[in-house]
Structure 1
Amino acid sequence: MTTPYSGAPERSVVDRTLSILGTFNRDNRTLTLSDISRRSGLPVATVHRIVNKLHGWGALERCPDGGYSIGLRLWETAVLAPQAKLIEAAQPHLVELQRHTSAAATLAIRDGSDSICLSLLSNDRDLMTRCGDAGARLPLHATAVGLVLLAHASKVVQKEVCAGPLRAYTPATITDGAALRRCLTNVRREGYVVVRSSLVEGRGGIAAPVRDCRGAVIAAVAAVAPLDNLQPTRLLPQVLATAEAVSRCVGADGPRIGEVGA
């Protein structure tokens, strides 16, 4: 079916609803109907009708200023995702990693060519401002957790990412495909990675893979710290122990936690 004016196929109700939900992100947590209309490309009348339905179900909440934000009902649904089990299994071990090292402790999974932070425990406000906390997306080539996840991704994913373009966040970011492939080979061989200033100047990370009961890499854990405190001889054993502990917890829960974005 096409619209009478543009000749373009009409978007289904599901497509329009997803477009509306997709207008919200970390930088746009509260939006007016006009904001949603502009960001989704849908008429205000359409947005108003669908938003009312979403609000009635609890997917969106009305704010005192008249705007809308993501509702509690969506959060209740989201915690049913298999990744919630992974977070639950990892959290006590991340707490111990952060406590023993004073570094930020993070857990991430892969979704396509990005990593998604599932948990970040840190007292470093500047780090959280620049890199985000739970839910933040970062490119695989620019972080320690990302390189671990990419090193254990399929050949198709690796080829696609290495083909670029690879954005340079700092002079230390890997932007050459051949260099990235060599790095991934080293990560698989060594079982961990250490990066310095690859995403944020003056900070680095040490990451290791989390595996399920079949040995497949489903996540990565890392310690992130200022370069002065990024001492592999001290931090690496802690990171490896954390990854192994989380892997044991996941393995005990069976193969229900799968990788995203394969």
Structure 2
Amino acid sequence: MTAPRSAAPERSVVDRTLSILGAFDKDNRTLTLSDISRRSGLPVATVHRIVNKLHGWGALERCADGGYSIGLRLWETAVLAPRSSALAAAAQPHLVALHGQTSLATTLAIRDGGESICLSFVSNDADAVACYGGPGRRLPLHATAVGLVLLAHAGDLVQKEVCSGPLRPYTRHTITSGTLLKRCLAKVGREGHAVVHGALSEGRGGFAVPVRDGRGVVVAAVGVVGAVDVIRPARLAPQVRAVADAVSRCLRADRPRVAEVGA
């Protein structure tokens, strides 16, 4: 007699492997097998088998306490992504200089779906790093200045999806209305920059402008983050735009294959 099939389809090896890698994040950098099992929803035996393979290849590293963390081999593969490597390399010296000029945290981000991904974050403020994170940190588009710039230059379908919500309220200043967000994006498009005050974290604001490739397509956003009382567009705009222009010139010179933000 044939055993009845389970209602839920079995997850492929690829799906299970991605679930294991996806169990790690900025707040969970080191995990035990039990932790990975719980966070991935996979049996410990399955986790043990796949983790051993990942460890052997170098995607995961074994820590002294017996836990696992993301390995250098995975990082080496990730930095080959053209959207990140070319942009980050072009922007880094300019971000460092901007940080020195303004004493504010400086950042470069690109869009992936409904989130921004930080490619570089220059700051000596531990609180800013904890809130906005470093390279690889994902943040919602509606709650940061770089996110609003990226969303304002995204395609209509992306804007419609994000504005349809739900829009998470991080603080009392976060935009949670799709109608208000649409108006904000239109303003960003007209003015060529975005400003936020306390949208992601109380007391902190941001200012950002777009980075364009040789065809004029927005491929990233450059911004600064700091206390709301020092986020003054009239003072910051020339400095931040100078960095965006410098990065854009580097991109035109090197002609990297950078995907369009609006795609």
TM-score for the superposition, normalised by structure 2:
0.94
Offset from partner CA, 1:61-86 (integer Å, 9 cap, x none):
11111111111110111111111111
Rounded Cα–Cα distance in structure 2 between residues aligned with 1:257 and 1:138 = 21
**Identical aligned pairs, as a percentage?**
72
1:126 and 2:139 are equivalent in the alignment: no
Give the secondary-structure state (helix, strand or coil) at the position aligned to 1:171: coil
> Where does residue 101 of structure 2 map in the other structure?
100
How much does 1:228 deviate? 2.3
> Where does residue 158 of structure 1 map in the other structure?
159
How much does 1:231 deviate? 2.2
Tell me if the contact between 1:214 and 1:255 (Cα under 8 Å) persists in the aligned partners.
Answer: no
> Where does residue 144 of structure 2 map in the other structure?
143
Rounded Cα–Cα distance in structure 2 between residues aligned with 1:4 and 1:115 = 44
Q: How does 1:40-59 map to 2 (within 5 A)?
A: 40-59=40-59
Amino acid at match of 1:75: W
How much does 1:245 deviate? 0.8
Rounded Cα–Cα distance in structure 1 between residues aligned with 2:132 and 2:170 = 12
Let me know the Cα RMSD of the aligned residues.
1.6
Offset from partner CA, 1:206-242 (integer Å, 9 cap, x none):
1000111111111000011112222222211101111
Rounded Cα–Cα distance in structure 2 between residues aligned with 1:115 and 1:147 = 9
Aligned residues: 260
> Where does residue 183 of structure 1 map in the other structure?
184
Please list every run of 5 or more consecutive structure 1 residues that lacks an aligned counterpart in the other structure: none
Give the secondary-structure state (helix, strand or coil) at the position aligned to 1:69: strand
> Where does residue 245 of structure 2 map in the other structure?
244
Rounded Cα–Cα distance in structure 1 between residues aligned with 2:146 and 2:187 = 14
How much does 1:139 deviate? 0.6
> Where does residue 62 of structure 1 map in the other structure?
62
Give the secondary-structure state (helix, strand or coil) at the position aligned to 1:109: strand
Offset from partner CA, 1:135-192 (integer Å, 9 cap, x none):
1111101110000000000000001111111122222211111111111111111111
Rounded Cα–Cα distance in structure 2 between residues aligned with 1:49 and 1:180 = 46
Give the secondary-structure state (helix, strand or coil) at the position aligned to 2:159: helix
Q: How does 1:70-85 map to 2 (within 5 A)?
A: 70-82=70-82, 83-85=84-86
Amino acid at match of 1:29: R
Rounded Cα–Cα distance in structure 2 between residues aligned with 1:244 and 1:260 = 17
TM-score for the superposition, normalised by structure 1:
0.95
> Where does residue 221 of structure 1 map in the other structure?
222
How much does 1:131 deviate? 2.0
Which structure 1 residue ranges, 4+ long, deviate > 4 Å from structure 2? none
Please list every run of 5 or more consecutive structure 2 residues that lacks an aligned counterpart in the other structure: none
